[in-house]
Structure 1
């Protein structure tokens, strides 16, 4: 703008104006060079992406991953068709099915541990089949391993490594599966153990094992049915408010920022923390019950 006016008015150009003009020309050249470099990088990436499918087609791991994803998408689409039905809403959006599941679990557990006269008074774990032992040990090991990994490895590592909202999204997906899978594994372990140890053969040690396994199973089931759904709803509501306020990207800490002055957010956060603390305490109690049974199994191992 002022370059042309000043140059037109006088044949002499001041050193300051000339210096600025040279700097602007230099910046334009650097910008043009950077754009050309960026364009060449895009062309190389495009050509590499055209060759990649042929390479992936010969990769067994890539093929298995693709087919597994296709299978998961098909299952997801299959269940998505029934999410708008009345049966689905009654089953998953109300508390009545949770009451029914818990009632069935309690009745089944009481039936298993109630005193009865076995047809074989000498029944014990020594009479179990190798297949039964395999199922029992596999269920227990998966249960114990999932507890250790979720509590001490996955949870702590992600909390101190990724933004808080990213950590929350991961936990939102894992929580229902974690407690659901653990309750099923606890039920399998309890059923096999009680089947191989009739109540008329119990001593103090066996009674302690059965009590800890029953406690573990019912706690995990209650957490899955009654605590996980409201926890996830509060998490979603809290994250939505934090995203709108521009917070939630901190790592390894909770910094609400300006939301500390919002009564609605504070109320949601307090409710979330209360349920989350209850879930954490329940999870630690189930781990204690699992460790009791792990100590029992360790005392029964005979090393050659």
Structure 2
């Protein structure tokens, strides 16, 4: 009977393993284990080690749960971040506006009015005539110009518009020509650079034409015809030349350039060329007469536009020199 009542060491180990499994299944009990149990000499050291590891594991898991925010807290923090991110809100609102305008623009492109305005030359002629008439009307003297010009004080608002249009005009010229153009040419593959040019060219010359006519009309308003001397005549000539060149480039040279550029890019994509940076290898199109002829026409128009752009920059620098001489601190 005594032998039956005594348990061996193996049986003790099995019992302890069963206890360990039970403890791992119900880890909530570990938080109530007193220090006296871990310090007791009746429990083997390896069992104490297992109990201590289980307690540490349970404690670490509790700490992680406490440290991690709940789903509601995460949603609240994300929502508050979105609400405080002014840039994100602005971009989102601008995207909504552009989607709205793009939708109606695509609808307008299917109408006959769009075809008449953008696929015929008559609207370009009308815009050119109206623009020149606006400049001429500012030059033609009125009957009371001599009386009013002597006593007229310059409007602060018109002066602000004049300086702003001139500054934006000159800034866009130098940025597009020497910074954006050269940087993109040496950083993008030729085909991607052509796509950028196709988008930027119309906008660039449209904005510059608007800036030019604004600067010219306000300058003419403050310099009546009877007050013109050699210096004023040179400035008016420079401003009018810049405006006229940019108007002609935008109305008569940019549309065929964009058409040729789009056709070139489509052919280059089909031939698999134009994917290298700062490289112009014709590859299989070297013996294609249609592409060669198109490329020559494109280069010819592009060269004329580049020369016109440089001339407008010269005119802008001439007027900048005039303004620098009139500044009084």
Q: What is the match of residue 61 of structure 1?
A: 87
Summarize the Cα distance change of 1:147–1:187 in structure 2 as closer, same or farther, 3 Å threshold.
same
Q: Distance in 1 between matches of 2:150 and 2:238?
A: 19
CA-to-partner distance for each residue in 1:89-116, whole Å, 9 max, x for gaps?
Answer: 1111111100111111222222322455
1:296 aligns with 2:316: no
> Normalising to structure 2: TM-score of the pair?
0.73
Give the Cα–Cα distance (whole angstroms) in 1 for the partners of residues 195 and 265 of structure 2.
Answer: 9
Mapping of 1:1-304 within 5 angstroms?
54=79, 55-114=81-140, 116-121=142-147, 123=149, 127-303=153-329
Q: Do 2:145 and 2:224's aligned partners in 1 also have CA atoms closer than 8 Å?
A: no
Question: What's the CA shift for 1:119?
Answer: 2.9
Q: Name the structure, 1 or 2, with higher relative contact order (CA <8 Å, separation 6+).
A: 1
Larger radius of gyration: 2
Deviates more, 1:172-181 or 1:71-80: 71-80
Evaluate the alpha carbon distance shift between residue 295 and residue 118 of structure 1 in structure 2; reply closer, same or farther with a 3 A threshold.
farther
Structure 1 contact 118–198 (Cα < 8 Å) conserved: no
Q: SS where residue 81 of structure 1 aligns?
A: helix
- Structure 2: where are the runs of 5+ without partners? 1-73
2:264 aligns to what SS in structure 1?
helix
What is the Cα deviation at residue 185 of structure 1?
A: 0.7
Deviations 1:218-260 (A, max 9, x none): 1101111111111011001111111111101121232212211
CA deviations over 1:137-160 (Å, ceiling 9, x no partner): 001000000001000000000000
- Give the CA RMSD over aligned residues: 2.0
Once residues 124 and 221 of structure 1 are traced to their aligned partners in structure 2, the CA distance between those partners, rounded to angstroms, is 33
Taking a change above 3 Å as real, the CA distance of residues 53 and 97 of structure 1, as seen in their structure-2 partners, is farther
* Distance apart, 1:58 and its partner CA: 3.9
Q: 5+ unaligned residues in a row in structure 1: which ranges?
A: 1-49
User: 1:217 and 1:125 mapped to 2: Cα distance?
Assistant: 30
- Runs of 4 or more consecutive aligned structure 1 residues displaced over 6 Å after TM superposition: 50-53
Alpha-carbon separation, structure 2, partners of 1:124 and 1:209: 21
